């Protein structure tokens, strides 16, 4: 995987990030979701390099081979603000003062926070398979809780750690024929690590508490994304089934938003990498609005 990329561990404030980066041209930061690592982008990142971009692929704090501080009662070390701060510092350290961000699933929440907190750094944003956390929770009903029950299970203290680490191979299913063998092996090693499992759960605990508070403060203060935003979602997942057109919700958060569904299951970068690259490259190259 990632032939020709530099692979290194980069220290940023109170975290150590495992990072792959390569290529040349305008910088693009790729942020993975749960329970993946940066290797989920193994088919997408080289295609973006071939398209003329400088691509940076980290493991998020606590995921994969990246490490952050121990959890705290307020979940602040695993908040999206903390993870977004990691990304801002990482990109500055690599010499990128302006860049695009592409996030999937939990990585989209980090991308959203990065764009809200550091609009001077993010020139374009692609957010995949997500709405703002506060929008999910504001609309939460029995249908949502049934479909997305893991949000509330992961937030429980102590219990999910014991359940998941007792048999991570049974809890997290992945097919190497779809994921790619090396990506599958890296992901499988990560989810067998109790420290990684704890950090991934803290990501969700932060989501229901401090991250929600930060988003509600944004809305109260009228903060919106001012850079062009592209929203993509999996047609074989349930985002549109739950909410209808996701763009209608995102228009309250961004001044320039476009997007569409992609014929894929949830892990678009693994299941439909060519379609994903075809969707994002024109947007990343384009100047002006979405």
Instruction: Give the CATH number for residue 96.
Output: 3.40.50.1820
Note the pLDDT of residue 237. Answer: 94
Give the pLDDT band of residue 173 (cuts 50, 70, 90).
confident
290, part of any domain? no
Question: Are the CB atoms for 103 and 123 separated by under 8 Å?
Answer: no
Q: What is the pLDDT of residue 286?
A: 85
User: Residues 197-205: what's their mean pLDDT?
Assistant: 98
In a domain, 121, yes or no: yes
Question: What band does 288 get if pLDDT is binned at 50, 70 and 90?
Answer: low
How far is residue 35's CA from residue 12's CA, in Å, rounded to a whole number?
Answer: 22
**Of 105, 117, 203, 211, which one is the catalytic site residue?**
105
Examine residue 1 and state whether it is found in any structural domain, yes or no. Answer: no
Active site residue 105: yes
Question: Residue 121: which domain range?
Answer: 6-285
Q: List pLDDT tens digits, range 34-81.
A: 999 999 999 999 999 999 999 999 999 999 999 999 999 999 999 999
DSSP structure string for 140-184: --HHHHHHTHHHHHHTSSSHHHHHHHH-HHHHS---HHHH-HHHH
Number of domains in the chain: 1
At 203 the pLDDT is: 98
Per-residue pLDDT of 107-164, as tens digits, reads: 999 999 999 999 999 999 999 999 999 999 999 999 999 999 999 999 999 999 999 9
pLDDT tens readout for residues 208-262: 999 999 999 999 999 999 999 999 999 999 999 999 999 999 999 999 999 999 9
* Residue 187 falls inside a structural domain: yes
Structural domain includes residue 263: yes
Give the pLDDT of residue 37.
Answer: 98
CA distances from 225 to 37, 99, 230, 253 (A): 26, 15, 11, 6
Judge contact between 113 and 214, C-beta under 8 A: yes
Q: Is residue 97 part of a domain?
A: yes
Distance separating alpha carbons of residues 113 and 122, to the nearest angstrom: 11
């Amino acid at each position: 995987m990632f032939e020709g990329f530099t692979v290194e561990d980069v220290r940023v404030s109170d975290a150590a990030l495992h990072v792959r980066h390569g290529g040349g041209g305008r910088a693009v930061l790729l942020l993975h979701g749960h329970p993946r690592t940066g290797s989920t982008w193994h088919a997408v990142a080289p295609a973006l390099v071939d398209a003329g971009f400088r691509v940076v692929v980290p493991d998020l704090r606590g995921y994969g081979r990246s490490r952050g501080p121990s959890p705290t009662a307020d979940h602040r070390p695993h908040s999206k603000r903390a993870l977004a701060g990691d990304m801002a510092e990482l990109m500055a350290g690599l010499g990128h003062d302006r860049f695009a961000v592409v996030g999937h699933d939990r990585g989209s929440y980090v991308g959203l926070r990065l764009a809200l907190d550091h609009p001077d750094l993010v020139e374009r944003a692609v957010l995949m398979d997500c709405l703002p956390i506060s929008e999910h929770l504001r609309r939460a009903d029995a249908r949502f809780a049934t479909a997305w029950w893991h949000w509330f299970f992961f937030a429980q203290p102590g219990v999910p750690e014991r359940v998941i680490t007792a048999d991570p191979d049974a809890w997290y299913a992945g097919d190497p024929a779809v994921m790619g063998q090396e990506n599958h092996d890296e992901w499988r090693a990560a989810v067998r690590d109790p420290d990684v499992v704890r950090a991934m759960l803290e990501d969700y605990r932060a989501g229901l508490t401090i991250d929600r508070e930060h988003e509600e403060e944004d809305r109260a203060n009228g903060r919106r994304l001012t850079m062009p935003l592209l929203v993509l979602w999996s047609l074989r997942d349930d985002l549109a089934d739950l909410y209808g057109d996701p763009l209608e919700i995102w228009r309250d958060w961004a001044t320039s938003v476009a997007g569409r569904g992609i014929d894929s299951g949830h892990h678009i970068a693994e299941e439909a990498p060519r379609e994903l690259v075809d969707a994002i490259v024109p947007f990343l190259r384009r100047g002006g609005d979405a």
